[in-house]
């Protein structure tokens, strides 16, 4: 129960939290004011008032999505959660055998609070069909984590890298290979 858990002060304000959200049914929508797609507020409310998250620096995308193909991931900081949610919010570690970075945000989240979180979080894995619509709105994800995820998980969402999306990177590498081949052939 939420009351038995204690807030973990080591989860400081700048700690990045990842939350996996389902893509079926489509739990995102176009926000006219933000002019982009965002997850809907209902993703940030839990029937037990314990919101499951992962500490980004201690988690792997592949592990979070293991067995949940097609799911999406959003990111927000612990500081943002503490700012938006009830002052009594408890953010604590809840390690799982194969997922040591698992944590919980224990508090009853109101509609307004979840709406604010939904508007201020950012995509880490966004729906593929949204990638063009919101490309300019993204900050890069840690490239090390991205490479790890690419190696070990066939995710259906789109992973963001430092300035390059995966298909663009593949295209660029192919072009370089073609240019090198042509150069060698002519000589």
Partner 1 sequence: MQEVVQASEMEWINNTLQKLGNLSQFPANWDSYGGLPLDPFVRDKAVTYLGWLEKEDLPTPDVFLGSGGTVQFEWQIRGKALELEIKKPGTIAWLKVFPNEEMEEGEIARPNAGDLSQLTHWLTRG
Instruction: Point out which residues bind partner 1 (CB under 8 A).
Output: 20-22, 24-25, 27, 29, 31-33, 40-42, 45-48, 52, 68, 71, 110-112, 115-116
Cα angle 76, 85, 36; round to 5: 45
Joined tokens for residue 90: 């408890």
Find the shortest distance in angstroms from Cβ 32 to partner 1. Answer: 6
Q: Rounded to a whole number, what is the largest CA-CA distance in the chain?
A: 74
45 vs 122 by CB, closer to partner 1 = 45
42 vs 169 by CB, closer to partner 1 = 42
The enclosing H or E element of 167 equals helix 166-186
Find the shortest distance in angstroms from Cβ 61 to partner 1. Answer: 14
* 3-class DSSP state of 63: helix
Query: Are 101 and 58 within 8 A, CB to CB?
Result: yes
34 vs 169 by CB, closer to partner 1 = 34
Find the shortest distance in angstroms from Cβ 77 to partner 1. Answer: 20
């Amino acid at each position: 129960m939420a009351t038995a858990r204690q807030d973990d002060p080591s989860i400081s304000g700048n700690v990045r939290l990842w939350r996996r959200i389902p893509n079926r049914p489509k739990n995102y929508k176009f926000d006219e004011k933000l002019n982009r797609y965002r997850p809907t507020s209902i993703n940030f409310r839990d029937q037990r008032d314990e919101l499951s998250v992962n500490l980004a620096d201690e988690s792997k995308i592949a592990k979070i999505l293991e067995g949940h193909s097609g799911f999406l991931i959003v990111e927000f900081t612990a500081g943002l959660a503490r700012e938006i949610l009830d002052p009594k919010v408890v953010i604590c570690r809840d390690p799982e055998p194969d997922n040591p970075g698992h944590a919980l945000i224990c508090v009853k989240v109101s509609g307004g609070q979840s709406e604010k979180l939904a508007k201020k979080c950012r995509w880490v894995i966004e729906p593929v069909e949204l990638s063009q619509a919101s490309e300019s709105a993204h900050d890069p994800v840690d490239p090390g984590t991205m490479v790890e995820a690419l190696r070990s998980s066939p995710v259906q969402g789109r992973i963001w890298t430092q300035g390059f999306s995966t298909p663009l990177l593949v295209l660029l590498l192919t072009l370089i290979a073609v240019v090198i081949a042509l150069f060698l052939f002519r000589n």
